[in-house]
Amino acid sequence: MSRLFAGTPWDRPPTCDRCGRPESECSCPPPAPEVKRIPPDQQTARLMTERRAKGKLVTVIAGLDAEGNNLDELGARLKTACGTGGTVKDGRIELQGDRLQAAERALQAIGYKTRAGRG
Ligand SMILES: [Zn+2]
């Protein structure tokens, strides 16, 4: 006997988007949880300088959500833009030296709003 929906899209059992197999035969791992990035223009980065031991100045970029941003990548971009070294820790980016203006320009070029203050 012919099926009512033979040859139409409704005839097909649900298939996996990735392997194309029917879902009953699919053995794909569950999808990785999607990372929710926040558009830069919806965020305000806070910039400040802080004095560390032995009088060393660092420029701190704070106020950016650690899950809404790829802080490691952003830190790398800022280090390149400012021509300095730095680290990412506790959800903050630290750049060696007083890089307030250069970091602010680089953040604004990406699209972030900024608020800078000398600490
Ligand atoms: Zn699959």
The per-residue pLDDT for range 40-51, each reduced to its tens digit, is 999 999 999 999
Cα separation, 57 vs 55, whole angstroms: 6
Total residue length of the chain: 119
Q: pLDDT at position 1, please?
A: 52
Residue 22 lies in a domain: no
CA 25–ligand 1 middle distance (angstroms): 8
CA distance 105 to 119: 18
What is the pLDDT at residue 36? 85
Q: Look at 7 and 83; give whichever has higher pLDDT.
A: 83
Domain contains 28: no
**Token pair for 18:** 């990735």
**Sequence-separated (6 or more) residues with CB below 8 Å from residue 115:** 44, 45, 46, 47, 63
Residue 51 lies in a domain: yes
Residue 73 lies in a domain: yes
22 CA to middle of ligand 1, Å?
A: 8
Longest dimension (CA), the chain: 87
CA of residue 45 to ligand 1 center, whole Å: 41
Rounded Cα distance between 30 and 23, Å, is: 12
**Cα separation values, 96 from 49, 58, 64, Å:** 10, 5, 19
Question: Ligand 1 center to residue 3 CA distance, Å?
Answer: 26
Domain boundaries, position 109: 40-118
Higher pLDDT, 16 or 34: 16
Residue 34: its pLDDT value, please? 77
The structural domain count of the chain equals: 1
The H or E element that residue 76 is part of is helix 71-82
12 C-alpha to ligand 1 centroid (Å): 15
Residue 67: give its domain's CATH number: 3.30.780.10
> For residue 98, how far is the Cα from the chain centroid?
24
Ligand 1 centre to CA of 13 (Å) is: 13
26 within some domain: no
Q: Quick one: pLDDT at residue 118?
A: 59
